[in-house]
Structure 1
Amino acid sequence: MTEATHRARWKALAWAWLLAVAALAVHQADFWREARLDSDVMALLPGEIDDALLKAANARLAAGATQQVVVLVGAPDWAATRRAAEAFGARVMGSGSPFAVVAASEDALEGALAFYAGHRQGLLTPAQRAQLDDPRTVELALARLYSPGAGGFGAWREDPLGLWPAWWQDRAGAALSTRDGQLVVRGESRDWALLRLESRMPAFQLDGERHLRDALDRASAAARAATNEVDVITGGVPLHAEAAAVRARTEVGTIGLGSLIAVVALVWLAFRSPRPILMVSASLLVGCAAGVSVTALVFGQVHLLTLVFGASLVGVAEDYGIHWFASRQAQPDVPPRTMMRRLLPALGLALVTSALAYLALGIAPFPGLRQMAVFSAAGLAAAFITVALWFPWLDGAAPRPSAFARAVGRSLLHWPRLSNHWPTWLAAGAVLVVLAIGLPRLAVNDDLRSLQSSPPDLLAQEARLGRVLGLPSPAQYFLVEGEDAEQVREREEALTDRLATLVENDGLGGWRAVTDWLPSSARQREDAARVQAVEGRVLARAAELLGEAPAPTEPATTLSHADWLAHPVSEPLRPLWLGAVDGRWGSVVLLEGLDPGRLPALAAAADGLPGVRWVDRSATISGVLAHYRHQMSAWLLAGYAAVALALWLRFGRRAWRAWLPTALAATLSLALLGWLGVPLQLFGVLAQLLLLGVGVDYGIFLLEHRDDPASWLAVSLGAASTLLAFGLLALSATPALHSFGLTLLLGIGLVWLITPCFRPAAPAAT
């Protein structure tokens, strides 16, 4: 191929890449206008569950909470509480509000009373069943006839045993009631007005702005202006999601901007020209844009944590441009296209190893990690193509040598090498001490809570809200399954009968189950027969005393699950009724007032009950994290073996000089985590995978070029910027990213320091 032909093809490829970058710009404008971002940290976890019923239960519970925000407004007296609640409601529903109010309706309560009234004889609490077995029940019922609150003989005859009001009181709970058209809950020695809000925004597709929090703060200020000493408590999944989105957006700016400033500063110190800064920045911008666009096209959206992680890509993608300018600075007489042809094999190998290291993150079935892998690999490839196709055309003159570049390049000549002298043995002893003390201290933490952290004030309000309302925990529950709807309800009743004993023994605050409002048909018939028998005796005795003929007993009707589901009264409990899933029927029983120390006793409540199983989502997901940590550790060891083989094929007996520094740095980083008391997580193992792909490059370049100052300058600048990028990632408030960044901060810093020590003593040394 002639030089003219090669030049023409290179130019055509450069123009083609310009068109591709223009398409990226168009897509970026569309993407950021719609902001298809996901902030749900649970997206980092495996999404597929083999058990269809369990998967349906988790999805139903999540869907029931993702849009709901609960607000409690309380003041010293009810009049003040009502004024504050009205002011809050009016303000939160102002123009442009992100909320819709789920109003408490008197008509809804009347509709529920009318719906259940025809089935009242088949609706009993456990205490009422025991009451009906008491021989004194007939006499007590007759005594009620003559009490002042009986409401006359007609009202008494409709419910002579007084079962109906007691059943409703048990269903509603002792603290919940209605007052002046508002829901009221009693707690902390005051009456709270309960407001239920529904976010109009998708819970996990926020734009990083405080829409919900600001609306609640404005409404709280209006409530405080209406009355003194008002207290407002808020909670709900959308608030946690928004807090994560706001934090992630801040971190994207901090980490991305910090990395960019670091790269610009290093490039300026090395080359003292605005051209390298502008060209390297352009390659980084193209790389980040490509990462966003490819991720959005592959997954349909981009996770906010992917953007936070991708911001650290700046510290890696700039290596290609820095290598170009370092080589141009050292050899200014070599034509640009000739220089690029010389660099392409090494740069291409660096791209492949780094991209493979990033793609290794996608081995685990974690959607969030797969996004990070695709984002990083696409971004690196785009930055590489930009450097390879555009830099030879845009870089007309080699940068002038600078004092900083000369100092960094020459520092390699003074770097210590391994030798059979006392400094080497002293350093080896120090390394052994660090390993011997640090590694045994290294703890492992696979707890789900290590992946996320909400603001402390939000967690405190959530805990207080749960105490006042007695909200159930969606993290632990019982899953009940059967062949049909009736069998599920019967098995659920067997479970709640056991849970009642735990409530009596102070091991449980209560539960929420469908059968509290929809007993099985068998239990309804049994209870109705029991009620009719006792009521028959009471009415007969009353007729005898009054000298009247006994009134005929109306036949009881059984409430079906189809009728119940079709009525609005079932709406609050519909998330608990799974219905038919892959030929099996199921329901969920949630627990209230859960004591973490009593979880084993609660789990034992399912023992021996067919179709009933205990589900601890936190423990299950923690087990999944542990499983994949072990799996990734095995992949890591296999990766080191594969890299060792590849290096041996290229360098023969010298391969250990490129391999051992990274292995030693990785081991030392684990020991230092032990010294610092930072536990090892799955994300720490994934960081070790990435360290393998990035760290070995330093050894490869130093073996290829040995004591070349220009090569060492490029390696040092690349390592320093990568170190800064991942060091900033260690500042993330998201525990998973913090662990990832800290591991790489230690690992990359160590491999950069150690690798030059393994250089051969002379070109002929082995």
Structure 2
Amino acid sequence: MTAGPAASGRAWRLAAFAWLLCVLLIAAHHWQFWRGGRLDTDVLALLPRAEQSPEVARASDVLAQGASRQVVVLLGAPDWASAKQAAQQWRTAMEGSGAPMQSSASAGERAVDALFEFYAPSRDRLLTPGQRRQLEQDPAQVQLERALALLHQPGAGARLADFASDPLGLWPQWLQARSAQSRARPRDGELWVSGEGVEWVVLRYEITGQPFSLSGEARLQPALDAALQAARKEVPQARVLAAGLPLHAESAAVRASREVSTIGWGSLAAVVLLVWLAFRSFSPIALTALSLVIGVAAGVSVTAWMFGQVHLLTLVFGASLVGVAEDYGIHYFAARQSEPSTRPRTLMRKLLPGLALALATSVVAYLALGLAPFPGLRQMAVFSAAGLTAAFLTAICWFPWLDRAVPRSSRFADFVRGSLARFPRWQGSRRQHIATCLLALACIGGAVQLRASDDLRHWQGSPPELLQAQWKVGQLLGTPSVAQFYMVRGATAQEVLEREEALKERLDGIVEARLLAGYAAVSDWLPSLRRQERDARLLTQVETQLISGVNRLLGERLARPPSASRPLTPQEWLAHPASAAGRPLWLGEVEGAYTTVVMLHGLQDPALLPRLQSLTDGLAGVRWVDRSGDIASLLGRYRWAMTLLLLAGHVLVFAALWSRFRAAAWRAWLPTVLASVAAVAVQGWLGVPFQLSNILALLLLLGIGVDYGIFLLEHRGDGGAWLAVVLGAASTWLAFGLLALSSTPALHAFGLTLMIGVAVVWAVSPVFRRSEAVQ
């Protein structure tokens, strides 16, 4: 009779010792982890990887890297002199600010002086599309009249080339067309743009450190604000517009740091207060806190082992683990309070089946998050599942040995235990059926108003003033978007340039229709050799005829100089400063082929996107890339896939409950179903867009919600089990309720869903408990 308990005690001691060794290994890992600086701070890790070919992903990454380090500042004043004066004060203030960024001259500024030097020897090979059509289509007489008018117009002596070399003035027009790709112009040693009744000095900066470092400390924006104040001391009317991905990353870092403190410390304070009110003892608080600390530490270690590093926002989400992992300790101490005469190991053995089932359902729900296409969410799933398991093992293995205090009751605990008897039970009465129908109508009304959204903007949380400034800077400078572009690939450099030119011929029609402001392509700066030869022959033929016509009409003896222009090659172009403006569009060899991108200016109408995509039909090597559309499509597909997974999860959880409770399994499962429906309906009534983060929250609610039903079924009519449910649900509700206060829309939707769902399942679970009289 005694051999069994003795053997069980030895097994328990062995398990406690083995878990101690694991905890020591976790502690040793943390000593190395925090010294090694393996905390990932790249905010781009939150974004999903589009399901696209490797070359498209590489092209997207190259473009994103080019933009990720840049900050553009427009410093404006009512007149140009004041704008220059403000810029001088601004630069002085920025140099002493200590901000991790340095001034960088724009590509246009660096290339202005080099353009003429590089292109002049090849000017006979360079034509814009408009010039080419003019030479091909205009009658010879019209062209002759144009040349004569240009010859006699005032200022003809200041031409870039003599009349015989360029009778139609095509060379300066070509140069002007190149500079027109940016609305900013050199002026008095500055880069200038005018708009909104303001003269703007354009200042460009490059981040010196990691562009997406989420240290939690604001350094860029305060430096910009201080520099503006310095500029306003000299020019009170000075205005500033700042744009760049580093500003958005810093804003996310500061917000993440604030939310870590709010969620983590707020949840911990709530847990401590609730545990103290219930047990009036330090021991439950200390041991529950121990399980939470070990759970978080284990989550960090397992995540680092699987992914190589831990994302900062994984810790933000992990802070909400406080609201879930304490359930095991609270349930144990609530049972101890109800059965003070039962030995701790005997009590834990009695609680183990229900706690293990609760852990299994929660871990399944957390791991389901890892099926989403976000690397950050996969880390969060592993972190949370490992943390919960570690907290569970800490409670199971150590609490029976460490809990030596005599359980104390409290009026709060007595009140909560007694409140279970006052909850109504579902008996199928007429009044209950009427209430159910009314609630069902309310839920249907909310569901009808629900609208799905897969817009990536609902996953971001940049302040409105930053988004507005970004939009204004793009409008003033005509900056192309990296969200939509064409990718052109070819076996050789010349093939890719020829394919670009074929695409541009189709784009020209859209530009002429004023549906698009323009485009930027490598072949604007470096025409293919075939194009250069054709343009050279066309230009030679037309200009030779023009010179002959001018000589005949004016009695001159002008002679067009023989064409000695040299062809432009990619090697020369890439090596010369004149390529600075177009070089970002040249990606070189990507996945075994030469690759370039064609960027679009002034793309604002979403209805134009299908037409732009259709331009690639029949063009070999040309591909339309819509990163925003791809990500939205990806989110939509995963939203449906995760919805199916949610339904499958409910089936699996119900099967697990059936294996334990048989015909009573629905009593533990139905409250979570009702809570999920209510959470969705409320968001429909509130007009909150339904997105992937809502599905992820509902998956988590499935794992959390059934725990309460499990505890109430395992311990029928036990006020101690109800006390554990109340304390666990309250702390969980606070943890995820604080997430609903997040300024990041995705986290807000996630937290709001759980805040509603946890509250409903908490209130409904006792309604479906079994009668104490039923055996």
TM-score range, shorter-chain basis? over 0.9
Question: What does residue 117 of structure 1 align with?
Answer: 120
Q: Is the 8 A contact 2:178 2:524 kept in 1?
A: yes
Are residues 117 and 220 of structure 1, via their aligned partners in 2, closer, same or farther at CA, if it must alter by over 3 Å? same
The one-letter code of the counterpart of 1:708 is: D
What is the TM-score with the length of structure 2 in the denominator? 0.92
Q: Is the 8 A contact 2:164 2:561 kept in 1?
A: no
Per the TM alignment, residue 625 of structure 1 is displaced from its structure 2 partner at its CA by: 0.9
1:132 counterpart = 2:135:
yes
Secondary structure of the 2:633 match is helix
Per the TM alignment, residue 214 of structure 1 is displaced from its structure 2 partner at its CA by: 1.4
Are residues 723 and 707 of structure 1, via their aligned partners in 2, closer, same or farther at CA, if it must alter by over 3 Å? same
Distance 1:425 1:290 in 2: 47
Secondary structure of the 1:696 match is helix
Q: Is the 8 A contact 1:70 1:195 kept in 2?
A: yes
The correspondence for 2:31, drawn from 26, 34, 51, is 26
Matched ranges for 1:101-112 at <5 A: 101-103=103-105, 108-112=111-115
1:645 counterpart = 2:655:
yes
Are residues 257 and 28 of structure 1, via their aligned partners in 2, closer, same or farther at CA, if it must alter by over 3 Å? farther
Distance 1:270 1:572 in 2: 69
Deviations 1:363-390 (A, max 9, x none): 2332121011011112212222332343
Per the TM alignment, residue 396 of structure 1 is displaced from its structure 2 partner at its CA by: 1.7
The correspondence for 2:569, drawn from 552, 560, 563, is 560
Are residues 626 and 428 of structure 1, via their aligned partners in 2, closer, same or farther at CA, if it must alter by over 3 Å? same
Question: What does residue 166 of structure 1 align with?
Answer: 173
Per the TM alignment, residue 21 of structure 1 is displaced from its structure 2 partner at its CA by: 4.9
Per the TM alignment, residue 341 of structure 1 is displaced from its structure 2 partner at its CA by: 3.5
Question: What does residue 89 of structure 2 align with?
Answer: 87
Question: What does residue 46 of structure 1 align with?
Answer: 48
The one-letter code of the counterpart of 2:40 is: R
The correspondence for 2:18, drawn from 13, 17, 31, is 13
Secondary structure of the 2:587 match is strand
1:37 counterpart = 2:46:
no
Distance 1:267 1:615 in 2: 55
Could you tell which deviates more after superposition, 604-613 or 429-438?
A: 604-613
Matched ranges for 1:326-725 at <5 A: 326-539=334-547, 550=559, 552-596=561-605, 597-725=607-735
Distance 2:63 2:689 in 1: 31
Distance 1:88 1:518 in 2: 37
Q: Is the 8 A contact 1:56 1:578 kept in 2?
A: no
Could you tell which deviates more after superposition, 581-590 or 453-462?
A: 581-590
The one-letter code of the counterpart of 2:143 is: T
Q: Is the 8 A contact 1:175 1:187 kept in 2?
A: no
Are residues 214 and 152 of structure 1, via their aligned partners in 2, closer, same or farther at CA, if it must alter by over 3 Å? closer
Secondary structure of the 2:58 match is helix
Secondary structure of the 2:441 match is helix
Per the TM alignment, residue 512 of structure 1 is displaced from its structure 2 partner at its CA by: 1.4
Could you tell which deviates more after superposition, 715-724 or 653-662?
A: 653-662
Per the TM alignment, residue 514 of structure 1 is displaced from its structure 2 partner at its CA by: 1.4
Distance 1:370 1:431 in 2: 36
Deviations 1:285-307 (A, max 9, x none): 23223323432343233334322
Deviations 1:326-384 (A, max 9, x none): 12222223333443343333323322221121011112332121011011112212222
Could you tell which deviates more after superposition, 152-161 or 484-493?
A: 152-161
Q: Is the 8 A contact 1:92 1:99 kept in 2?
A: no
Matched ranges for 1:151-162 at <5 A: 151=158, 155-162=162-169
Deviations 1:118-141 (A, max 9, x none): 211111112322443543434544
Are residues 269 and 367 of structure 1, via their aligned partners in 2, closer, same or farther at CA, if it must alter by over 3 Å? same
Secondary structure of the 1:119 match is helix
Per the TM alignment, residue 705 of structure 1 is displaced from its structure 2 partner at its CA by: 0.8
Question: What does residue 277 of structure 2 align with?
Answer: 269
Matched ranges for 1:50-69 at <5 A: 50-69=52-71
Per the TM alignment, residue 539 of structure 1 is displaced from its structure 2 partner at its CA by: 4.9
Distance 1:549 1:13 in 2: 99
The alignment covers a number of residue pairs equal to: 762
Secondary structure of the 1:118 match is helix
Runs of 4+ in 1 over 6 A off after TM superposition: 541-547
1:237 counterpart = 2:242:
no
Could you tell which deviates more after superposition, 130-139 or 286-295?
A: 130-139
What is the TM-score with the length of structure 1 in the denominator? 0.93
Per the TM alignment, residue 88 of structure 1 is displaced from its structure 2 partner at its CA by: 1.6
Per the TM alignment, residue 707 of structure 1 is displaced from its structure 2 partner at its CA by: 0.5
Are residues 11 and 739 of structure 1, via their aligned partners in 2, closer, same or farther at CA, if it must alter by over 3 Å? closer
Are residues 49 and 568 of structure 1, via their aligned partners in 2, closer, same or farther at CA, if it must alter by over 3 Å? farther
Question: What does residue 253 of structure 1 align with?
Answer: 261
Question: What does residue 3 of structure 2 align with?
Answer: none
Distance 2:158 2:741 in 1: 69
The one-letter code of the counterpart of 1:93 is: E
Distance 1:219 1:294 in 2: 45
The correspondence for 2:749, drawn from 726, 736, 739, is 739
Q: Is the 8 A contact 2:369 2:381 kept in 1?
A: yes
Secondary structure of the 1:511 match is strand
Could you tell which deviates more after superposition, 597-606 or 661-670?
A: 597-606
Distance 1:125 1:551 in 2: 21
Question: What does residue 303 of structure 1 align with?
Answer: 311
Q: Is the 8 A contact 1:452 1:736 kept in 2?
A: yes
Q: CA RMSD in A?
A: 2.6
Secondary structure of the 1:473 match is coil
Are residues 154 and 261 of structure 1, via their aligned partners in 2, closer, same or farther at CA, if it must alter by over 3 Å? closer
Distance 1:3 1:293 in 2: 31
Distance 2:166 2:49 in 1: 51
Question: What does residue 324 of structure 1 align with?
Answer: 332
Per the TM alignment, residue 66 of structure 1 is displaced from its structure 2 partner at its CA by: 0.5
Distance 1:249 1:438 in 2: 35
Per the TM alignment, residue 393 of structure 1 is displaced from its structure 2 partner at its CA by: 3.7
Are residues 330 and 24 of structure 1, via their aligned partners in 2, closer, same or farther at CA, if it must alter by over 3 Å? farther
Question: What does residue 71 of structure 1 align with?
Answer: 73
The one-letter code of the counterpart of 2:633 is: G
Q: Is the 8 A contact 1:208 1:249 kept in 2?
A: yes
Are residues 392 and 14 of structure 1, via their aligned partners in 2, closer, same or farther at CA, if it must alter by over 3 Å? farther
Are residues 509 and 562 of structure 1, via their aligned partners in 2, closer, same or farther at CA, if it must alter by over 3 Å? same
Per the TM alignment, residue 197 of structure 1 is displaced from its structure 2 partner at its CA by: 0.6
Secondary structure of the 1:183 match is strand
Q: Is the 8 A contact 2:667 2:768 kept in 1?
A: yes
Per the TM alignment, residue 627 of structure 1 is displaced from its structure 2 partner at its CA by: 0.7
Could you tell which deviates more after superposition, 113-122 or 334-343?
A: 334-343
Question: What does residue 186 of structure 1 align with?
Answer: 194
Distance 2:258 2:306 in 1: 25
Per the TM alignment, residue 557 of structure 1 is displaced from its structure 2 partner at its CA by: 2.0
The one-letter code of the counterpart of 1:109 is: V
1:280 counterpart = 2:283:
no
Could you tell which deviates more after superposition, 599-608 or 69-78?
A: 599-608
Secondary structure of the 2:406 match is coil
Which 5+ residue runs of structure 2 have no aligned equivalent? 1-5
